[in-house]
Amino acid sequence: MPNIIASTRHLLHNVKTAVLEPIYGRRPLKRAEQMFKASFGRNINWEHPTAFVEKLRWIQFRTDPAMRTRLADKLAARDHIISQGLADILVPLYGTWESPHDIPWDELPRSLVLKTSHGSGDAIIVHDKDTVDRKTISRHFSKALAKPYGRYYAETHYKPIPRYILAEKLLHNDAAFSRSIVDYKFYCCNGNPILCMVCANRTSITSHDMQRFFYDIEWQRHNDWVTPATTDDTAVPRPQSLDQMIEICRRLSKGIPFVRIDLYESDGATYFSEFTFSPDAYKPFPISETAFAILSEKLELPEPDFNIP
């Protein structure tokens, strides 16, 4: 019975999304205002934004999105990383294709990760290419490439990103406290990493079912920065490459009002995952009000490029 209920909810969500996405896509500003009011119980103050999410929406609609689009593009982001002299933190890339039917399976290593250039939550880990259902993978990425990612939650910077499939090396997970490779997600404001969300023990690479822990950059734990507040006492050791991670974040976020920089550590080395400008699709989760207040204080708004229509 629980499986039937979950399947029914998933089906209803997909139907709802299919109906509403085109509407939201035509009116992203209205959708952003609707989401904010539903989450915070008030309208966005476009003249004097104070809340963290409110400031992110202000940046979205009042500044040029070209840089955000370029860096959110997982393929173009690699070129940016190279231009910053950080090519050594890139996960090895095996190839890119416009269609899943073009993937040359025979030429690829046994294990790899497949993902799209424009989306999120669509990656597939391939542990053994000879045993996976390639037709299922092909159908999955055909749908992912057709999907205009970001419309439902008015994440407008994703819309212009060219759509490709990327194949990258499957990194070795050597974290004793996690059965999945650990994400170190650094929230950065204009060259300053403020806090780090550690994501561990994912049930799958795309799952939101995971453990989340928050640390400052001195690696002090803050259980009150996550909502709901956690009492989980799992020990998360300081990453071997934390100092390098912090320096990478400082370099890559310089001149950017806000960006979340996601990194991995594998076999003692740091690897880049992605840039994120709309963490958790602008929803007030999983960060607590306490952490939001810290981020809001640190986030200084740039000069606007546009007025709100």
State both tokens at 172: 């070795």
Compute φ and ψ for 220, nearest 5 degrees: -100, 130
Domains in the chain, number: 1
| Amino acid sitting at position 152 | Y
| pLDDT at 120 (0 to 100) | 92
Residue 1 within any structural domain of the chain? no
Quick one: pLDDT band at residue 229, thresholds 50, 70, 90? confident
Reading phi first (left if > 0) and then psi (alpha if -120 to 50, else beta), residue 212 is in beta
| pLDDT at 202 (0 to 100) | 85
Work out the average pLDDT over 132-159: 96
Quick one: pLDDT band at residue 50, thresholds 50, 70, 90? very high
**For position 293, which CATH number holds?**
3.30.470
Residue 308 within any structural domain of the chain? no
Which residues face 177 on adjacent strands? none
Residue 289 within any structural domain of the chain? yes
Close Cβ partners of 9 (under 8 Å, ≥ 6 residues apart)? none
Count CA atoms within 13 Å of residue 140 on its CB side. 17
| pLDDT at 227 (0 to 100) | 87
pLDDT (tens digit per residue) in 12-29: 556 667 778 888 989 999
pLDDT (tens digit per residue) in 247-286: 999 999 999 999 999 999 999 999 999 999 999 999 988 8
Contact predicate 35/27, CB 8 Å: no
Contact predicate 273/180, CB 8 Å: no
| pLDDT at 134 (0 to 100) | 97
| pLDDT at 209 (0 to 100) | 81
**Cα–Cα distance for residue pair 204/25, rounded to 1 Å:** 29
State both tokens at 217: 């950059």
Residue 268 within any structural domain of the chain? yes
Residue 235 within any structural domain of the chain? yes
| pLDDT at 56 (0 to 100) | 98
Work out the average pLDDT over 102-113: 98
pLDDT (tens digit per residue) in 159-176: 999 999 999 999 999 999
| pLDDT at 20 (0 to 100) | 83
pLDDT (tens digit per residue) in 53-66: 999 999 999 999 99
pLDDT (tens digit per residue) in 183-196: 999 999 999 999 99
Residue 277 within any structural domain of the chain? yes
Quick one: pLDDT band at residue 205, thresholds 50, 70, 90? low
Q: In 3-state terms, what secondary structure has residue 83?
A: helix
Work out the average pLDDT over 220-232: 87
Long-range contacts of 232-235 (CB under 8 A, 24+ apart): 234/177, 234/200, 235/177
Which residues face 105 on adjacent strands? none
| pLDDT at 234 (0 to 100) | 86
Residue 177 within any structural domain of the chain? no
Work out the average pLDDT over 84-106: 98
Which residues constitute the domain of residue 264? 183-298
Work out the average pLDDT over 74-78: 98
Closest CA to 208 of 276, 117, 279: 279
Residue 21 within any structural domain of the chain? no
